[in-house]
Structures are given as structure tokens and as C-alpha cells.
């Protein structure tokens, strides 16, 4: 999705003190996706949607003084303010957040780590995690290879169209957090809806695609895959007032369950961008000196790095996810 730069609001001092803002999702059609994205997004789609990108560069800012800009445009203009705080430095937005809606199996694929990605000319690799929002009975995901599988076994299985038989299929339920380390051969089965949080990269090497007419990346994928990785389910840690779902090299993800009438104070100790996604209910986010902002299910709210603290006013109860790079946690 492209936008005419002439339609952006003019750059002015207003973006130098930008507060939290909400993003409209950007929808990516995929052959394995669904035309029915309820309850997250109403109405039937004309083509199957596999992913709703919540913090993609093409997502449109729909609130505040930068309304009408894309996230990519905003980051390009305000890298330091968005990412590092105190106006220092520049760079890319740290996390890509998506909702996934598979109604058929995803391809058997692998993402490279930073080293493998950079050797292939990419900026960075793709380590990710999946938080299971809903799951039909019997739903499963593939995480890595069965024991004693060799590279030769993988090549032969790709040639004979039997690769999925070598994968470790893991049953999943709503509330599971799953770590997918770069280099892990993986797939997602139908009947789940996932919130995916990952390094900001879309580098995917498909090894096998069930005969769908899409490009495969066998040699790149075989070079990137690892026979053993740290992928698997992660047990949540309970803290006062929230659950730490996962804490890894590239991201920290928390689940906050807020009661009706609660006014929760949140901190940004590490001073880098944070992402909030409401899973149910709504809240009003408040920062001194900015307009209040409503959190809505299925939309991301970005807390810029320069925002040191904020509050969530919850009228009727809410469950939300907070995702951030490591070192940014903190809650009063």
C-alpha cells in the first residue's frame, strides 16, 4: 500500500512532542487466510486475509497530531523521538505486531537469524513469538523437527512432498505463548487466531507449500534452518498486577488484566517505543499535555520513547497486551 507524500500533514513542531497514537490495521491477503475476521474486524472480506499488520510501516496513524501519516513516515521523520528517547539517534520501529487468521496450513518455512539474514543482504533476522487468542479443538502448530532428523532427511522429504511428517506438531490452546526462535522450521495449522510479535522483518523462506503456486526458497531456507532451537511454549510469570508472558533477546510481552473502574499507572523505564493491543474491553490512555486516547480491540497504540509514564483509565474492564524491546519494563 503506497501513499502520496503530498497528502501528509506538513512537518512542524507538533511531531517533536508527539504523544501516544493509535494505528489503523493494514490487511495482507494470503491464500491460507480467512474472509471472516470476526470478532476482531466486522464484515466479510472479498479475498482471504491472512494477516492484519498492527505496527507495519504502511499502517495509518488515526489519532493525534500526526493523523494521516504512515508509521513508516513518522519513524523516518522522528527516529530518535520514537525509538531511543531524548531525540537521539534514528532507526526502524523495533517490533512488528500482527494478528494471524489461518484457515488452512501455512507453508513449512524458516526465518533466518541476524547473521544468516545479513549474509543474504537483509537488515536483520526474524525471531518471533505467538500468543494464542483462540484455538479450535485439535488445533496445532509445528515447532521444529522431530529427533534425529538430518539435513539429508529434510532434502529428501521436500523432494517427496512429505516434509510436514518430519515436524514436531504441538497442540495449542487459548492463552498459550509460543517462542519461535530464528532458524526454527515451523508451520501453523488451521483453526487458531494468533497475536504475533517479532523483530521488524518480513524475511520468510518457504521450504514446502502443499502445491500452492508460490515461490520456494530451498537453498536459502536450508542454510538458515537449525536442527535444534529454543522454540516452544513459554510459561508465564506472575507479577503484581500483570503476567510476563515472555522475555527474550528481542522483545518482552506482558498481559495486563484491568478491573472495571481501575486507573493504572504505567512506566517506560527503558525509554523506547511500547505497543499496547487491547484483547477485550477498552480503556482511555492519558498522558499529561496530550489529548486522551481510546484503546480499541484489534488496533495497536504506540507509546513513543519520549513518553516516560502514562495511565490507563478502564471503565468496564479490559485485557491488553504490552510489547516492547528488552529493558523497557516497569509498572507502578
> In a structure prediction context, what are the per-residue pLDDT tens digits for the chain, which is 332 residues long?
444 443 444 444 444 468 999 999 999 999 999 999 999 999 999 999 999 999 999 999 999 888 999 999 999 988 888 887 544 445 789 999 999 999 999 999 999 999 999 999 999 999 999 999 999 999 999 999 999 999 999 999 999 999 999 999 999 999 999 999 999 999 999 999 999 999 999 999 999 999 899 999 999 999 999 999 999 999 999 998 899 999 999 999 999 999 999 999 998 877 789 999 999 999 999 998 889 999 999 999 999 988 989 999 999 999 999 999 986 444 33
Instruction: Mark whether 299 is an active-site residue.
Output: no
Output the pLDDT for position 327.
65
Distance CA 297, CA 49 (A): 18
Output the pLDDT for position 329.
47
Q: Which pTM value belongs to this model?
A: 0.92
Output the pLDDT for position 85.
59
If we measure between CA atoms, which residue out of 3, 142, 121, 132 comes closest to residue 73? 3
If we measure between CA atoms, which residue out of 286, 261, 290 comes closest to residue 276? 286
CATH fold label, 5-234: Jelly Rolls (2.60.120)
CB 125 within 8 A of CB 116: yes
Show the cell assigned to 146. Answer: 522431530
Q: Where in the chain is the domain with CATH 2.60.120.10?
A: 5-234, 247-324
Show the cell assigned to 280. Answer: 477485550
Output the pLDDT for position 11.
42
Alpha helical stretches, state H, 200-248: 218-224
- Which listed residue (30, 206, 264, 322) is catalytic? 206
**Residue 200 carries which DSSP code?**
S
Q: Which residues, including other chains, have CB under 8 Å from residue 249's CB and lie 6 or more apart?
A: 127, 326
CATH homologous superfamily for the domain 247-324: Jelly Rolls (2.60.120.10)
Output the pLDDT for position 14.
42
Amino acid at each position: 500500500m503506497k501513499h502520496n507524500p503530498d497528502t501528509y500533514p506538513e512537518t512542524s513542531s507538533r511531531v517533536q512532542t508527539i504523544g501516544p497514537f493509535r494505528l489503523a490495521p493494514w490487511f495482507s491477503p494470503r491464500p491460507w487466510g480467512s474472509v471472516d475476521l470476526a470478532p476482531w474486524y466486522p464484515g466479510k472480506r472479498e479475498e482471504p486475509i491472512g494477516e492484519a499488520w498492527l505496527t507495519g510501516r504502511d499502517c495509518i496513524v488515526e489519532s493525534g497530531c500526526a493523523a494521516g501519516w504512515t508509521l513508516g513516515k513518522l519513524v523516518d521523520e522522528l527516529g530518535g523521538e520514537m525509538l531511543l528517547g531524548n531525540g537521539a539517534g534514528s532507526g526502524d520501529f523495533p517490533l512488528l505486531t500482527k494478528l494471524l487468521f489461518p484457515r488452512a496450513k501455512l507453508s513449512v518455512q524458516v526465518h533466518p537469524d541476524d547473521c544468516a539474514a545479513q549474509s543474504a543482504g537483509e537488515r536483520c533476522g526474524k525471531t518471533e513469538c505467538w500468543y494464542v487468542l483462540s484455538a479450535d479443538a485439535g488445533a496445532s502448530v509445528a515447532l521444529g523437527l522431530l529427533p534425529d532428523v538430518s539435513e539429508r532427511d529434510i532434502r529428501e522429504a521436500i523432494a517427496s512432498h512429505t516434509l510436514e511428517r518430519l515436524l514436531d506438531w504441538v497442540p495449542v490452546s487459548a492463552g498459550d505463548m509460543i517462542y519461535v526462535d530464528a532458524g526454527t522450521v515451523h508451520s501453523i495449522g488451521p483453526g487458531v487466531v494468533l497475536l504475533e510479535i517479532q523483530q521488524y522483518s518480513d524475511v520468510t523462506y518457504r521450504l514446502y507449500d502443499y502445491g500452492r503456486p508460490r515461490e520456494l526458497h530451498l537453498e536459502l531456507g536450508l542454510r538458515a534452518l537449525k536442527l535444534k532451537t529454543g522454540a516452544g511454549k513459554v510459561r508465564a510469570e506472575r507479577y503484581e498486577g500483570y503476567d510476563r508472558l515472555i522475555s527474550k533477546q528481542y522483545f518482552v510481552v506482558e498481559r495486563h488484566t484491568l478491573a472495571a473502574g481501575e486507573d493504572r499507572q504505567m512506566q517506560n523505564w527503558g525509554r523506547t517505543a511500547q505497543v499496547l493491543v487491547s484483547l477485550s474491553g477498552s480503556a482511555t490512555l492519558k498522558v499529561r499535555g496530550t489529548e486522551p486516547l481510546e484503546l480499541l480491540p484489534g488496533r495497536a497504540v504506540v507509546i513513543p520513547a519520549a513518553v516516560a509514564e502514562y495511565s490507563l483509565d478502564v471503565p468496564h474492564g479490559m485485557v491488553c497486551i504490552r510489547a516492547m524491546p528488552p529493558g523497557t519494563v516497569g509498572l507502578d
